[in-house]
Amino acid sequence: MRVGRCGARMTGPLRVVGRAWLHRRRRLILAATAVLAALWLLDALFPPPLPTGDDGFIVLARDGSPLRAWPGRDGAWRYPVTAGEVSPRYIEALLGYEDRWFRWHLGVNPVSLARAAWQWARYGRIVSGGSTLTMQVARILEPVPRTPRGKLRQIVRALQLEWRLGKDDILTLYLNHAPMGGIVEGVEMASRAYLGKPSRALSHGEAALLAALPRAPGRLRPDRAPDAARAARDRVLERLGQFGIWAPGIVADARIEPVIAQRLQGAWLAPLAAERLRRQVRRSDRAGLTRVASTLDRELQATVERLLADRASILPPHVSIAALLIEVDTLEVRAYAGSADFADASRSAHVDMVRGVRSPGSALKPFLYAMALDQGLIHSESLLIDAPQSFGGYQPGNFQADFSGPVSVSEALQRSLNVPAVDLLDQVGPARFAEALASGGIRLRIATGEPPNLSLILGGAGVTLEELVGGYRALAAGGLAGRPRLTPDAPREESRVMSEGAAWIVRDILEGGGHPDRPFVETGGGQRLAWKTGTSFGFRDAWAVGVAGRYALGVWVGRPDGTPNPGFFGANMAAPLLKDIAAALPQDAPPTRERPASVQPVAICWPLGMRADDTPAPLCHRRRSAWSLAGAVPPTRPDRIDGSSLRQTVWVEPVSGRRTVPGCSAAEMREYARWPVMLQPWLGSFVPPSQQLPDWLPGCSPAVGASSGTLRIVGLSDGSRLKPAPHQTHVMLQLALRGASGNVYWLLDGNRVQPSPAGQLLLQEPGTHRLTAFDESGRHHSVAFTLDRPQGLN
């Protein structure tokens, strides 16, 4: 016998009752456990068809607006959102109209089901639905017939959803999968497709309208049936007012709102950028994502695409265009157009030429001049030689096939002269130049097994538009190049490709000419643009790249298959479009540009290239204002023909002023500034005779070798007059040269010409001409002649 808590002993019958109750409790627990286990097993064996990640994909602009979307496997268009990204007005309208007890029931509302069943039995039709929001989600995920058996299956699926998911998860499923008419599903896609705004900005009337759509999406589409949609919206508003969810004044104001919806359209922006992001996601560990935010600015993207489409309309077939615009400070891409018109398959619309590897032509020259500035080889007005030269057998020419003789660094860069650039690269070193560019994110693609060579600076390697724009960014970012960022979470990758001072000088040259004594003058509205063009060999690629205000931008024009386009070059094809894009940029206040302390103006003298203060007046033939970097004012470099000093002391006969040697005549010492030998053909009109080295006094020149003899053009005298033969429009001139040494270069009116193998030159343009010849020793001879107009032609 046991004693109870109060000390009384438990009798036999009480003990039996207690044991029976314990057995029943155990059986109830076991039964409940078995039921739960069975439910768990059934749920595991027959899970609800939750979304599997094949609901489509969407790429967003920086403001959240869609740029391009891909439908799900079922063909529906969705814009995934969470409840926190949707206007509370819509959530209130949805739950107030569809399921006021959503937060409290377990997936099924027995009261609503009983009411719906009684109405169906009494009237023989459905009067009011008994489905909860969870049941509607179950029917969306797994459509079932509207029969008692289908309703039972829907109830079971709703219970499974409540078992597996939280209330917010279920609500999110509805927000993204509710049918909204046609192929549109979800509140965000419906809001943007019909109303042109994000769902977070819905008014009360618009929220009620979208809450009503899923009841009959095909019949209530606001773009097709605005009257029916308005009536459905008003029913929602009536119920919200009836239950006190919205105040009467709010309901009254919402009823006044008109129902105006835009027609569904599949307009895309930045299709190739979106495709690039989609593939990146699919290859990454984020393959389950259904939306990706980009850094693209919707308005700028639309503007750039419109400009490209307008330009493409006047281009020949098969020619495409690519453009890239990035923000300097953040490296974020604001506009990305990989092709001219994504809908035009004839222009290889699906080929992304922002990433296409092509020859840049002369577009790399700013980096070379910046590198030479940093190495102390030049200042902005260093004297360079633009004349025919041979660099170990490599003989570059200029794009216009003429030569200018003496030019400054600023002039050579602005005019994109080839020979001075090749000469400078020869000093810097091609391998060193390629290595510096690679460290700045510009990887030069050179033929396999080939070392970097002098052709690099004229387009002898491949780059991408993306790399070039990221490199040019250095001109506006203190010398730091960077990798353009297409998503906000992309890493910020920067590297120094030039010093801050070199970047400032090169930008000043490209933007306004690089003249300290001539301030920049605006020539029109829009952004100040520092830009450079490039044209690849055979007119295959036309480039224009630059910086303007807060942006770096670039344009490529050509055929993606590499077919030549005669007459297409950077200045006439890419540069006008680059300027149009720059003019369309936001006209906000440009960032403050202060000249670095390392950059100072300095007066220099040609031909020596030294400071004017350190140059005697007789040796200062031309005074120029230059930018000096880190105080460096390097002297003019002697040319490869005569490496002696440009500052020479010579013996001169006092009366005639001609050179002599002691003992041959009376002599006195005078100091002269000598110009590089290769510039001699241009000095006649550039430097007064009094400033040039005097000729030798007859009989008093030193002994010379064979290579120092006189160079003469044979068969054409100075002042000759040539007449075409009767009924001919041209003269075939037979050229001959006496006393030449090494390679011979011919210039006709300053333009380089190449006689035929037989030494003949075709002349067709009437008028006065000058023919000049010079050899590798720098000796030259020039004759002037006149070609008469043809006679006797009908």
Q: How far apart are alpha carbons 342 and 266 in whole angstroms?
A: 13
- Closest to 301 (Cα-Cα) out of 353, 337, 349, 339: 337
What is the reported pLDDT for 1? Answer: 44
Give 520-574 pLDDT, tens digit per residue: 444 444 578 999 999 998 889 999 999 999 999 999 999 999 999 888 888 999 9
Rounded (10°) angle between helices 418-428 and 365-374: 50
What is the reported pLDDT for 638? Answer: 82
Query: Of residues 414 and 11, which shows the higher confidence score?
Result: 414
Provide the 8-state DSSP code for 750. Answer: T
- Closest to 389 (Cα-Cα) out of 425, 359, 414, 360: 425
pLDDT over 90 (residue 117): no
Give 739-762 pLDDT, tens digit per residue: 777 778 788 877 778 888 877 888
Q: How far apart are alpha carbons 354 and 465 in whole angstroms?
A: 5
What is the reported pLDDT for 717? Answer: 74
What is the reported pLDDT for 4? Answer: 46
Q: Where are the beta strands (DSSP E) in 607-693?
A: 622-629, 647-652, 668-673
Catalytic residue among 87, 98, 327, 466: 98
What is the reported pLDDT for 40? Answer: 63
Residue 687's pLDDT band (cuts 50, 70, 90): confident
pLDDT over 50 (residue 705): no
pTM over 0.85: no
Residue 591's pLDDT band (cuts 50, 70, 90): confident
Integer-rounded Cα Rg, in Å, for the chain is 41
* Active-site residue, 362 included: yes
Whether omega before 694 lies within 30 degrees of 0, making that bond cis, reads: no
Give 564-583 pLDDT, tens digit per residue: 988 888 899 999 999 999 99
Provide the 8-state DSSP code for 543. Answer: E
Query: What is the rounded average pLDDT of the residues 489-497?
Result: 95
Catalytic residue among 362, 382, 455, 536: 362
- Tell me the DSSP string of 450-462: PPP-GGGGGT-SB
Give the lowest-confidence range in 112-116, 243-247, 387-391, 445-449.
112-116
With beta carbons less than 8 A apart as the criterion, state whether 510 and 413 touch: yes
What is the reported pLDDT for 285? Answer: 63
pLDDT over 80 (residue 167): yes
Q: How far apart are alpha carbons 217 and 152 in whole angstroms?
A: 24
With beta carbons less than 8 A apart as the criterion, state whether 102 and 162 touch: no
Q: Tell me how many degrees the CA angle 162-165-170 measures, rounded to the nearest 5.
A: 80
What is the reported pLDDT for 346? Answer: 83
Quote the percentage of the chain above a pLDDT of 90: 50
Q: What is the rounded average pLDDT for all residues in the chain?
A: 85
Here the tokens at position 732 are: 């075939």
Give the lowest-confidence range in 115-124, 325-334, 353-362.
115-124
Residue 435's pLDDT band (cuts 50, 70, 90): very high
What is the reported pLDDT for 508? Answer: 95
Adjacency order of strands within the sheet including 57-60:
66-70, 57-60, 291-293
Query: What is the rounded average pLDDT of the residues 33-52?
Result: 66
* Strand pairing category for 541-548 and 551-558: antiparallel
Query: What is the rounded average pLDDT of the residues 38-63?
Result: 74
pLDDT over 90 (residue 271): yes
Give the lowest-confidence range in 196-210, 612-626, 662-676, 697-711.
697-711
* Active-site residue, 98 included: yes
Query: Of residues 666 and 701, which shows the higher confidence score?
Result: 666
